[in-house]
Amino acid sequence: MSDQTSLQFDSEQQRLFCRGVWNLTTITSLKHDLQKINLLTIGNTKKISIDGENIQTLDSSGAWLLIQFIKKLNTQKIIVQLINFSAAQQKLFSLTEEQAAKLTQIPRTKPLNWLARIGRLTVQYITEAIYFLSFTGELTLQALRVLRHPRRLRWRALFSTIEKTGYQALPIIALLSFMIGVVMTYQMGLQLQNYGANIFIVDLLGLSILREFAPLLTAIIVAGRTGSAFTAQLGTMKLNEEIDALNTLGVTPAEILLLPRIAGLIIALPLLTVWSDIFSIVGGMVMSKNMLHIPWGDFLHRFHKQVSVSSLVIGLGKAPVFALLIGGIGCFQGMRVLGGADSVGTQTTKSVVQAIFFIIVADALFSVIFSELGL
C-alpha cells in the first residue's frame, strides 16, 4: 500500500479504513488495493463499515470505484455502512450513483415508419447518383485530356489490366461457358426431341449464345471477379492515403489509376466474349453429339448456314458497354471508401450488385432497341 492511497481492514471492528487521495490519478492503485480486500480477508462477515474519515481528496472516479466495490459486496449478501464521510462526499456518492444508473440505460430510438424509410433511401440513392454523375464527368474530362496527349497514358498499367482482367480470366470463362453450352443444349434438346427437330438445336444454340448468353455471362463473371477487385484495390489505397499522396504530388488519380483500368477492361471484355462464344458452342456440340446424335460436321455446316455474322457482331457490340459499366462502377465505389476496413467490404458488395444490375438493364435495353431496328 502507498502513502497516498491505502486500505486497511480491521477484523475486530469489522471496519474498512480508507485514507489518502481518491481521484483519477490514483484510481489504478486504488483498484489494485480493493482487489486485495477480497472475501477471504473479510471472512464470513455479514455486515461491515467503511470509514472515510482520513480520505483527503475524493472525486467522481474514486466515488464510482467505491460504489462498484460496495455493489460487489452486496451481491455476496454483505451489508455495507458508510461512516465518517462528509456531507459533500455523501452528496458526491449520490450524484455518481445516479449518473452511473443513467449510463447503464441505453436510450432507445424510435424506429422510422415505412414512409420515412423510403424517403431516406430515396435521398441516399439520389445523392449517390449525383456523385456518380460528377465522377463520370471528371473522368470524361481526364480521358479527353489523355487522348489529346497519348504520352500521358500509363501503358504499363493498361497492359497489366488487360493481363489480369483478360488473360488470367480465360480458364474460368472457358469452363463456365462450356457448362452453359451443355446445359442449354440439354434443356432445349429435350423439347426438340419430342417433335423430331433435333437439328434445329444448332439454330437455337447459335443465336442465343452469340447474341445474349455469352456477352451476358462473361460480363457477370467479370463484374464479380474484376469489378470487385477494382473497388477493393482503390479502397485499400484510399485507406492507406496513397491517393492523397498522388494528389499532393500533382498526379491525378484518374490518370494513373482509373483510366488504365477502365480502358484495359474495355479491350479485354470483347475478347473474353469471343472466348466464351467458342467454348459455349463447343459445349453445345459435345452435348448435341452425345444426346441428339448430331455429327460435328453436320453441326458446323448448319451453324455456318443458319447463324449470321450479325449475331456475333451484336453480341460483341454489347461488350464494351458492359465493360464501361463494370469499370466505372468498380472505380467509383472504390473512391467512395471511407473510414475503415468495413467500408471496403460494403463498397465492394455495392460494386458487384450495382454492376450486375446495370448489366442486365443495359442488356434489356439493347434487346428492345435491336427489336425496334429489326436486327
Cα within 13 Å of Cα(38), Cβ side: 4
Residues 355-374 pLDDT 10s: 999 999 999 999 999 888 88
What grid cell was written down for 350?
A: 455495392
Q: What is the pLDDT of residue 4?
A: 46
Burial class (CB in 10 A: 0-12, 13-18, 19+), 247: exposed
Tally of CB atoms within 10 A around 171: 9
What is the average pLDDT across 35-40? Answer: 63
| Cell, residue 108 | 432507445
Q: What is the mean pLDDT of residues 102-118?
A: 72
C-alpha cell at 215: 456477352
CB–CB of 262/331 below 8 Å? yes
C-beta contacts of 320-324 below 8 A and 24+ residues apart:
320/266, 320/269, 320/270, 321/362, 321/366, 322/215, 322/218, 322/219, 322/222, 322/269, 322/359, 322/362, 322/363, 323/219, 323/222, 323/262, 323/265, 323/266, 323/268, 323/269, 323/270, 324/262, 324/266
User: CA-CA distance, 329 to 222, in Å (whole number)?
Assistant: 13
CA atoms within 13 A on the CB side of 187: 8
User: Residue 332: which of 257, 267, 240 has the closest Cα?
Assistant: 257
| Domains defined along the chain, listed by start | 5-104 (3.30.750.24), 155-373 (no CATH)
31 pLDDT more than 50:
yes
Nearest to 346 by CA among 261, 135, 122, 354: 354
Q: What's the pLDDT tens digit per position in 123-154?
A: 988 998 999 999 999 889 988 888 888 887 88
Pairing of strands 79-83, 47-58: parallel
State the pLDDT confidence band at 285, using cuts at 50, 70 and 90: very high
Dist CA 329 CA 44 (whole Å): 70
Q: Answer yes or no: pTM beyond 0.85.
A: no
Instruction: Report the percentage of the chain scoring pLDDT > 70.
Output: 93
